[in-house]
Every structure is written in structure tokens, then in C-alpha cells.
Structure 1
Amino acid sequence: MSEVKVRVRQQRKPSRIAQERKQDLIEAAIRNIADHGYDAVTVATICEEAGFSRGLIGHYFSGKDELLLEAVKEVAQRLGNAIRDAVRNAGDDPKARLHALIDASFSPPGHTPENVAVWVALVGAARLSPALGAIYREIWRDYRDGVGRLFKRAGKLNGRKIDADRTALTFSQLVEGLWVGGAADSESIPAKKAAACCHTYVDQMIGQ
């Protein structure tokens, strides 16, 4: 029986220009969501913001919905990267890591008016969009798992028994609530005050 050779066509890597244009469209979508809300964004507003013709989106995305999903994922990745870097640089102490996580959650490059505005739009749209809802649940599930482990370790080192799941849930909703409230009323809930609220919660749960 003769050997049959199967050729596998290698997928061509996008050119640098194609990658840049795709990223430009994602950035334009992020700005549009931040300025107008998720539901108000259109192909026309995105392309006008990016300075491209309307037909260009079809070369890189299946449509507006895919592009908007990528924009939300980009913002989530920025927030996640900033938090992970801060936690990693804080050393091994779990309490120090929690405080570093808070600082990163309320300061650039993760916490910016644009990124927070997109996150607020995600919160509002996740209930009605299965795709956005899946992204939202996945992000918070991973976040709470990591935060819960930190609280549990920190409590153990300080002689406190902590319900990791409940504490992580409370903490995550505290953070998100301050993001949403700060976006609506930055005068009453500036980022620095919001971070201080979270630092106080950690100290109260773990001990000074």
C-alpha cells in the first residue's frame, strides 16, 4: 500500500500593515464604546473614528459584533495585564499582593476613563448578549479564584479563618461597584478614594 502524503496548507501570517489596521479598528471601537455606549456604536462611527472606509472592517472581522467583542477583550486584557504585573512585582506576601492588586485596579495603565467606560458598557450589555455575558463571567471567575486564594493565604498567615469564595465575591463587587460609581460620579468617587475603600476592606478582613 503506497504512502499517501497530505500537504497541510500553512496559514499565511497577516502582514504588519494588516495587523496595524486591525488594531486601529479595535482602538477606534474602544473609543466609540467609551463615548457612546456599546449599543450606539455602528460600523460608520467606528470607521469614521479610525479614518477608514466602511468596507475595510469586512477584511478583518466578520462584522461589527466581532469587532466590538475584540474591543471588549482588549480592554479586559489591559486591566488583567496591569493587575498581574502589579501582583507579580509585590513579592510573595499575599496581603501585599492584594494591596498591589488594588493599586493597579485604580491607576493607569489599566484604570483609565476610557477603559472604565468600556467596562461599564460591558456590565450593562452582558445581560442581553450571550457572547458578552460569557466574556464577563469568565473574567470574573478567574479573578475571584485568584483573589480568593490570596485572601485565604493572607488570613492563614494572620491567624484568621476566611471564607475565600464569599470574601472574593464581596471584594470583586466592591471593586466593580466603585468602577461603575466612579464613572458616573468621579467627583464623589475619585480613583484614589475608591482604592482607599478597598485597602480598608482588606485590612479589616485580614488584620493590620
Structure 2
Amino acid sequence: MATPLSSARKKRGPSRIAIERRRDLIEAAIRDIARNGYATVTVASICAEAGFSRGLIGHYFTNKEELLLEAVKTVATELGSAIRDAANAAKPDPAQMLHALIHASFTPPGLTDEKIAVWVSLASSARWSEQLAKIYREIWVDYRSGVGRLFTRAAEARDVAINASHVALAFSQLVEGLWIGLAANRSSINANDAEHCCHHYVDLILDAKTQSPASAAPAPRKRRALA
């Protein structure tokens, strides 16, 4: 028969040190994935990145795959939280919420070089991993649903007819395609230009009479009078 003390011990969650070690390993895995790609990460490379012995992973994760999946989920969660927070801060105007969402999608802390690299690894590896594919599908189903609702509300406010599901699909692929471009070709694509492309897309879909600040054309320079 279990005593009250033994029952309390069983209910007790992981220790602070255990939580910190798990987080250290997840962050090391994120850096390792960003540097070397999902498929090439090993237990040894993760432990070397974290500065821990190889045996430590077994104390906190069932196997390497569980740790890598947690790393991918962490990046997706952090990016999603930054996007939601930015959109919520722009309430109640749904169009401004879309523009805020875009800005958060191409600036820290929502998006960083490491997050871009991990996302590209997720997208490119999902075809060969059912677990990754499940994460990938769930992220985009939720994302497109939320974006579609914002486009619907913004379009209704402007009396513009749209197919919200198609618009949200195209928008999500535009964002992801630009992320991939940023990861692959920083010499010709930068985050600022990528963000502006998405602002322009929203303005075109909504046929906005007033452009977003980010997509407006720069003001002409004033000429100095000749002496």
C-alpha cells in the first residue's frame, strides 16, 4: 500500500535541473540541425554542441528521434507564439493583424537564421518521416485556418469577394517559399524584401485603397534649390 509520502513523490514533476538539461539538449539539437541538417544530426554531434557526455541524452529522451522532434516542435511553437502575439497586438482590424503577422514572420524573435534553417529541414525531411510529416501538417492546417479567418473578415469589411481557403493557401506558400529562399540565397533575397512581398500580397487581395506603411512607395526626394 502506497504511503502519502510515496504518492507525493510519484506526483512530483521533473526537477529544475532535469528541465534545464532537457532545454539545453533541445537548444543544442536546434543549433545542430540548423548547422548540419536534420538527416545528418547524431547523438554525438548534439552532445558535443551541448557540452555533455553521450550518455546524458538517455536520461531525458527515449532516443535521438524524440529529441529531434522536440527541437522541431520547439522552433514551431516559438515562431507560432511570436506570430500570434503580434497579430493579437494589432486587434481589432483584421487587415492590420495580417500585416503584423507578416512582420513577425520575418523579424526576430519570431524568425532567426536558426529557425529558418530548422524549418527548411522540417519541410525537406517530412516526406520521409511520418512523425515530421504529422507535425508539418498540423502546423499548416492551424496556420491556414487562422489566416483564412483574418482574410475573410478583412475582405468582408471592404466588400471584397475572395476564396479564403485559396488565399490562405497561397499566402502560406508565399511565406514558406520566401523562408526557403532566405535560407538558400541570402545574396539575392533579404528579410526586408521578403516581408514587403507579403505586405503587397495582402494589399492586392484586399484591394486596399490605403496601402500598409511597409508596402507604400518611398516618398520622392526633395531637390535642393540651386544657389
Match of 2:21 in 1: 21
Deviations 1:169-204 (A, max 9, x none): 000000000000111011211000000000000000
TM-score (norm 1): 0.95
Q: How much identity, in percent, do the aligned residues show?
A: 62
- For 2:11 and 2:50, the matched residues in 1 are separated by 27
Match of 1:72 in 2: 72
Match of 1:106 in 2: 106
- For 2:22 and 2:11, the matched residues in 1 are separated by 17
- For 1:11 and 1:45, the matched residues in 2 are separated by 34
- For 1:191 and 1:26, the matched residues in 2 are separated by 26
Match of 2:175 in 1: 175
> Unmatched 5+ residue regions in structure 1?
none
Deviations 1:95-147 (A, max 9, x none): 00000000000000011000000000000100100000000000000000000
Asked if residue 126 in structure 1 is aligned to residue 114 in structure 2, the reply is: no
- For 1:189 and 1:135, the matched residues in 2 are separated by 27
Match of 2:87 in 1: 87
Paired residue type of 1:45: S
- For 1:123 and 1:140, the matched residues in 2 are separated by 11
Deviation at 1:12, TM superposition (A): 2.5
Paired residue type of 1:19: I
SS at match of 2:91: coil
Asked if residue 165 in structure 1 is aligned to residue 165 in structure 2, the reply is: yes
**Larger-Rg structure:** 2
Paired residue type of 1:22: R
- For 1:37 and 1:137, the matched residues in 2 are separated by 20
Deviations 1:63-102 (A, max 9, x none): 0000000000000011001001000100110000000000
- RMSD, matched Cα: 1.5
Match of 2:223 in 1: none
SS at match of 2:189: coil
Match of 1:43 in 2: 43
